[in-house]
A = this chain, B = another copy of it.
Amino acid sequence: MPRFFVNKEDINGEHAFINGADAVHIGRSLRMRLGDELTVCCEGKDYTCRLDSVSDEQCGLTVLSVSEGSGEPSVRVTLYQAVPKSDKLELIVQKAVELGASEIVPVLTSRCVSRPDEKSFRKKRERLNKIALEAAKQCGRSIVPTVGDIISVEECAKRLGEHELGLICYEKGGAPLSETVSADRRDIGIFIGSEGGFDEAEVEKCRAEGAKVIGMGPRIMRCETAPIAAIAVVMSLTGNI
């Protein structure tokens, strides 16, 4: 069933509304008819709705049933990703959302070759959030994970320390995820490097704030492979894959 994300004010008791581009999409691309059913997602809940009216501006819906979003894992994973070259962040965002990450935060480390300034990243961020939204719809998430603003390593280290479990994946080795992530964890932050990984001072900063250093085995993964693999493994260890 097609899924659409709406804001809280678009659900009013038994009635729900879908506005703008999504309304056009429902009427013109999907060619849905009055009486057809679709899923409206709002703040982690899934609303099964019936289509009552369609126009290019707004679709009107009747809420048939509500359930806790089935697409959400039991663990909230925040991916802190050092900005990689070219468009690799797009692949990373798409896959992280599919695998169940809740938030993606780009980080500027000393080894980042790509160093976008605030203004140029604002545009990129818009695009990344669009990719996150599309991935969330496609894979059946009940929330839309967000892509945040770029932060510094210092800020990232601080935030890692605030998670129930903060992890930094270091190419020079550390404990395996399977020995570090227990099944009952509910809030994990994972920091992954860009091409060339981390310098030791960066790892130390994160460790000093309480993050655990993780090794991902002897094979050197590309910087877009490591976050995908790490999130998949974390989801498996917490019973979500």
The docked-state distance in angstroms from the alpha carbon of A17 to that of B233 is 40
Determine whether A201 belongs to the interface, using a CB cutoff of 8 Å to chain B: no
The docked-state distance in angstroms from the alpha carbon of A241 to that of B214 is 10
Determine whether A103 belongs to the interface, using a CB cutoff of 8 Å to chain B: no
Please indicate the chain B residues that have their CB under 8 angstroms from the CB of A220 in the complex: 138-140
Shortest beta-carbon distance from A46 to chain B in Å: 11
Which B-chain residue is minimally distant from A228 (CB atoms)?
B228
Range for the number of chain A residues in contact with chain B: 20 to 34
Given A95-B225, A228-B229, A229-B99, verify A217-B235 contact (CB < 8 Å). yes
Determine whether A112 belongs to the interface, using a CB cutoff of 8 Å to chain B: no
Please indicate the chain B residues that have their CB under 8 angstroms from the CB of A178 in the complex: 236-237, 239, 241
Please indicate the chain B residues that have their CB under 8 angstroms from the CB of A235 in the complex: 217, 229
Which B-chain residue is minimally distant from A91 (CB atoms)?
B91
Is the CB–CB distance between A140 and B98 below 8 Å?
A: no
Is the CB–CB distance between B233 and A236 below 8 Å?
A: yes
